[in-house]
Structure 1
């Protein structure tokens, strides 16, 4: 079995351009919940750099607007957004309808919206736990 050092060195910062054909996602449409920040934003960027258009969905319109503009500028692909709450089926349905209205379809989904609290699980209140499960588990399944 390879050592941890061997595994870490073999996977260190491989640029996505070396593992994908440049335009592998050309003409495709990505819908991403939680795409305004963090790891989901970076996943959206990677897919857009390989040709896809993207639609990001999240709670904070100001963040989504800035991220959408930045992604479009840096990747030269279309990126639009809708704000809402993944815990609301109606909010998700409106976002999906807006995406399909703008792009005609959805080819890929990243269900990345996440709720979390910066504390050990045994310190979560029942309502906080319910919120995390609702966002991270239930909406990924239903949405």
Structure 2
């Protein structure tokens, strides 16, 4: 069977761990030339070894426009066009209303909203007509989470980027979709939940709220991203695809 992404050029931001790393590995395994970003060189080097295949790492913070420029400069050194952009870089921290600082607000919105916006906008000159753009949103965009309002607001913004950008890009037939993972087994989630036994206890509790009876795995999110990027999803545009074991549907 022919690999779906043979000779395709794919950009994955935040590709050094968790969902981004799993997705970069999946694209590379299906023949793509993959470019990943990460803020730490050691993590970037480790990810490149795990991914294998035709993969290039570019160190950078996607909240910084100059770093986004460096990413696309690196792509242009090897390729004339991009087929897929997975704008995945993001993150967040807990802060209840009453304890939210300007720094917390700015950091979260810069990473999750500004970074996604300019990652896609600066890709436009290189994006092939008919390309696919996938944005990482979250189930938090439609459900309340204590002490997580700023992060949740950023993901609601990301989801609405997809709705609007399909109109801006319709003449180029570029599809834009959002993927909304639920609770997923990643190092970032463990850190958010306090690590160790505390994190495991939180995940175990959350698993009881998920119809599938467990938390998700990064590879499961990755396969959904590849579907949205593939020709099989050629008539899927502007959607929010929940990959959450059913939690957001009840």
Give the TM-score normalised by the residue count of structure 1: 0.75
1:111-134 CA-to-partner distances (Å, cap 9, x unmatched) read 1110311x2442432211111111
Q: 1:102 to 1:128 in 2, by over 3 A?
A: same
CA distance change for structure 1 residues 65 and 124 in 2, over 3 Å: closer, same or farther?
Answer: same
- Where structure 1 has 5 or more consecutive residues not aligned to the other structure, the ranges are 1-20
Which structure 2 residues correspond to residues 36-55 of structure 1 after superposition, within 5 A? 36-55=16-35
Q: Distance in 2 between matches of 1:48 and 1:100?
A: 19
The normalised TM-score by structure 2 is: 0.45
Instruction: Judge conservation of contact 1:69–1:79 (CA < 8 Å) in 2.
Output: no
The number of residues matched between the two structures is 118
SS of 2:89's equivalent? coil
Contact 1:36 1:58 in 2 (8 A): yes
2:86 counterpart (100, 104, 110): 110
Calculate the aligned-residue CA RMSD, in Å. Answer: 1.5
| Long gaps (5+) in structure 2 | 120-250
Cα pair 1:28 1:53 within 8 Å, conserved: yes
Judge conservation of contact 1:36–1:63 (CA < 8 Å) in 2: yes
- The one of 79, 86, 91 equivalent to 2:62 is 86
How far apart are the structure 2 equivalents of 1:78 and 1:64?
15
